[in-house]
Amino acid sequence: MSEDHRLRRNKKILGVRWHLGLSYLLVIWVILGVLLLFMSNLLETSIIGARRASLYAQAHLIASAIRARGGPREARIATIGGLPPQGRVLVLDGEGRVLDDSASDPGMALKKLGFDEVRAALSGREGANTYYLPDGSFAMYVAVPADWDGTGGAVFIAQDLKDIVSQYRSVMGMVVWGGGIASVVAVAFAWHLSTTISEPLSDLSRAARMMASGRLDSRVSPKGPLETRELGASFNYMAQAIENTMERQEQFLMAAAHELRAPLASMRALVESMEISPPEPDELPELINDIHIEILDLQQTAESILSLLRARSGTAPSKPQQANPAKIIKELIKSRAATISERNLEIIQRYQTGGEVPIDPLLFRLIVANLLDNAIKFTPPGGTVAVTLDFPENRNKMVLEVSDNGPGIPPEHLDKIFERFYRVDPARQKATGGAGLGLAIVKEACEKTAGVIHVETSPGAGTVFAVEWHNIRSDES
């Protein structure tokens, strides 16, 4: 099953609509259940209880009235008023046999009643119970002890509780109706609420899929509650960042191809001219030298691109290890000794300590090499280049300075020199060579090692590049 298909199926089962709707219904039904339980309890304890007490009182009244009139044989129930409505009264002797019946049912005469309530009354206690009868009615049986001739007896009342049942039914009906209406309202509300949440989320997943398929300009319009609006805005921010990065990569590739094309075009022109008119043997060394220069240029550009990509690779900051920065600088100066003496430059070096500090040696080497190469390259013969490494502020930070007394950099170019392939004067710099990548590499390596770079320059007086690492301290005294 495809990922898409599975997602769509899961959405049907687990969609926010279902979650919200079912949760609301669950809450409403639980509340309804508790309410019904509470009402049944209330009915039992108060309404039915009150009815029981009233029937007991009536039974006792009837018993007293019978006794006052000389016993059941003299006082017939029919002659005593105040019988309970929907009720049937039976007068029983000490054995539980029917002596009198308010319904005047001849079949009941002297019939022995064996109900629990009757047994309780005959043994001197009041008894009462409620019953669901086979005909579907709900009745209460009550019996109280009575005595009119010393042989005991009881008054038994059976009452149909249909008035209570109909009251209960109408209240329950109202509760169930209310629950039903609340359920419909809850489902409608859940539907509306889930739409306000799920719609922006669906938009977001659609935009994410479009981005994945290459439409980097896909955006969403943030809507819904605060959280989904924030999510939408974050998505747009991320999409813009991705688009910018891709655009920069594209520009970088174009610029790189452009830089590689220039020496290749020169070499092609040289080779084609040799094909048209084969060079004289004495012209060959110069031609070969020209091609050699272009090849070196090409190689240098390719290496710079590789260094930049290496410095950029990975998003995590560099992993510092114990390394000796002074030693790295000395090695780099030594490897450039031939150029330095060829250009008759004076190199001044000053190191506050020669010890090890925690730094990424590869990135540090890239920074020093590029700043040093620039200083050597742009300082006219006979000039001075100084490299210093200090640990000021009680050795709590490390500062590298590479300075020269070369031509300096015009201020209007200062904010651009760290861009890739940027050179102050590309035409005039043809002789010095270079693709304009050195300072971009330095910037990248500084960012990776948490170094902060500054430039101080004045045209004609020279340039100072300083890098400060607040995260590097030297423990050596």
Ligand X SMILES: Nc1ncnc2c1ncn2[C@@H]1O[C@H](COP(=O)(O)OP(=O)(O)OP(=O)(O)O)[C@@H](O)[C@H]1O
Q: Which residues of the shown chain bind ligand X in the complex (CB under 6 A)?
A: 304, 370, 374-375, 378, 404, 406-407, 409, 417, 422-424, 429, 434-440, 463
Residue nearest to ligand X (CB): 438
Shortest separation between residue 217's beta carbon and ligand X, angstroms: 32
Shortest separation between residue 265's beta carbon and ligand X, angstroms: 19
CA distance 145 to 398: 108
- Give the start-end residues of each E strand in 68-190: 87-93, 98-101, 127-132, 138-145, 153-160
Shortest separation between residue 343's beta carbon and ligand X, angstroms: 13
Residue nearer to ligand X on the CB measure, 4 or 415? 415
DSSP H helical ranges for 313-427: 325-335, 337-342, 361-378, 392-395
Q: Which residue has the tokens 């270079």?
A: 434
Shortest separation between residue 371's beta carbon and ligand X, angstroms: 8
Decide which of ligand X, Mg ion, none touches 446; Cβ closer than 5 to 8 Å per partner kind: none
Residue 360 tokens read as 């990424």
99: Cβ–Cβ under 8 A, 6 or more apart, which residues?
Answer: 72, 73, 91, 92, 93, 110, 153
Decide which of Mg ion, ligand X, none touches 406; Cβ closer than 5 to 8 Å per partner kind: ligand X
Decide which of Mg ion, ligand X, none touches 435; Cβ closer than 5 to 8 Å per partner kind: ligand X
Residue 238: enclosing H or E segment and its boundaries? helix 226-276
Residues of this chain that bind Mg ion (CB under 5 A): 374, 438
Decide which of Mg ion, ligand X, none touches 118; Cβ closer than 5 to 8 Å per partner kind: none
Decide which of ligand X, Mg ion, none touches 24; Cβ closer than 5 to 8 Å per partner kind: none
Decide which of Mg ion, ligand X, none touches 318; Cβ closer than 5 to 8 Å per partner kind: none
Residue nearer to ligand X on the CB measure, 278 or 380? 380
Q: Identify how many contiguous H helices and E strands the chain contains and give both numbers.
A: 12, 12
Shortest separation between residue 404's beta carbon and Mg ion, angstroms: 12
Decide which of Mg ion, ligand X, none touches 385; Cβ closer than 5 to 8 Å per partner kind: none
Which three-class secondary structure state does DSSP give residue 443?
helix
Residue 167 tokens read as 């009251």
Shortest separation between residue 254's beta carbon and Mg ion, angstroms: 21
Residue nearer to Mg ion on the CB measure, 17 or 420? 420
Shortest separation between residue 319's beta carbon and ligand X, angstroms: 26
- Contact present, 90 and 101 (Cβ < 8 Å): yes
- 324: β partners: none
Decide which of ligand X, Mg ion, none touches 437; Cβ closer than 5 to 8 Å per partner kind: ligand X
For residue 98, report the phi and psi dihedrals to the nearest 5 degrees: -80, 120
Burial of 425 (0-12, 13-18, 19+ CB in 10 A): exposed
Residue nearest to Mg ion (CB): 438
Residue nearer to Mg ion on the CB measure, 163 or 303? 303
DSSP state of 474: -
Residue nearer to ligand X on the CB measure, 416 or 470? 416
Residue 249 tokens read as 């990569």
Decide which of ligand X, Mg ion, none touches 429; Cβ closer than 5 to 8 Å per partner kind: ligand X
Residue nearer to ligand X on the CB measure, 207 or 367? 367
- Contact present, 371 and 442 (Cβ < 8 Å): yes
Residue nearer to ligand X on the CB measure, 204 or 409? 409
Shortest separation between residue 340's beta carbon and Mg ion, angstroms: 16
DSSP H helical ranges for 277-346: 284-312, 325-335, 337-342
CA distance 142 to 89: 10
Burial 42-75 (b: 16+ CB within 10 A, else e): ebeeeebeebbeebbebbeebbebbbeeebbeeb
The 3-class SS string of 444-464 reads HHHHHCCEEEEEEEECCCEEE
Residue nearer to ligand X on the CB measure, 93 or 294? 294
Shortest separation between residue 382's beta carbon and ligand X, angstroms: 15
Residue nearer to ligand X on the CB measure, 398 or 439? 439
Question: For the chain, what's the residue count?
Answer: 477
